[in-house]
Amino acid sequence: MILKNTLVTRNNFNDFILPFYDPCFFIPTKGKGSRIWDQEGKEYIDFSGGIAVTSLGHCHPLLNKVLNYQSRKIWHTSNIFTNEPALRLAKKLVLSSFASYVFFANSGAEANEAAFKLARYYAIKKYHIKKNKIISFYNSFHGRTLFTVSVGGKSKYSDCFGPKPLGIQHAEFNKIETVKKIIDKNTCAIVVELVQGEGGVIPASKSFIRELRFLCNKYNALLIFDEVQTGIGRTGKLFAYEHYGIEPDILTIAKSLGGGFPISAMLTTSEIKSAIIPGIHGTTYGGNPLACAVAEATIDIINTKYILSGVEKKFKKIRFELNIINKRFKLFTEIRGIGLLIGLVLESKFENKIKDILYNSFLEGVIFLTAGKNVIRMAPSLIISEDDIIEGMRRFCCALEQL
pLDDT at residue 12, as a whole number: 85
User: 284: annotated binding-site residue?
Assistant: yes
Domains contained in the chain, CATH given: 10-59+305-401 (3.90.1150.10), 73-302 (3.40.640.10)
Where is 85: in which H helix or E strand? helix 84-95
User: 239: annotated binding-site residue?
Assistant: no
How does pLDDT run across 336-375, given as a tens digit for each residue?
A: 999 999 999 999 999 899 999 999 999 999 999 999 889 9
Please give the average pLDDT of every successive group of 10 residues along the chain, which has 403 residues.
68 88 93 97 97 97 98 94 97 98 98 98 97 97 96 92 95 98 98 96 98 98 98 98 98 97 98 94 96 98 97 97 96 96 95 94 97 94 98 97 88
User: 141: annotated binding-site residue?
Assistant: yes
Contact 346, 331 (CB under 8 A): yes
How does pLDDT run across 169-212, given as a tens digit for each residue?
A: 999 999 999 999 999 999 999 999 999 999 999 999 999 999 99
Q: In a 3-state reduction of DSSP, which class is residue 229? A: coil
Contact 189, 252 (CB under 8 A): no
User: 229: annotated binding-site residue?
Assistant: yes
Alpha carbon 400 to chain centroid distance? Answer: 28
User: 13: annotated binding-site residue?
Assistant: no
Q: Where are the strands (E) in 143-220, listed by range?
A: 168-171, 187-193, 195-196, 202-203
pLDDT at residue 15, as a whole number: 86
pLDDT at residue 372, as a whole number: 85
pLDDT at residue 1, as a whole number: 47
User: 294: annotated binding-site residue?
Assistant: no
How does pLDDT run across 76-109, given as a tens digit for each residue?
A: 999 899 999 999 999 999 999 999 999 999 999 9
Q: Angle, to 10 degrees, between the axis of helix 84-95 and the axis of helix 289-302?
A: 30
Query: At a CB cut-off of 8 Å and minimum separation 6, what does 163 contact?
Result: none
Rounded to whole angstroms, the Cα distance separating 277 from 299 reads 29
pLDDT at residue 208, as a whole number: 98
User: 319: annotated binding-site residue?
Assistant: no
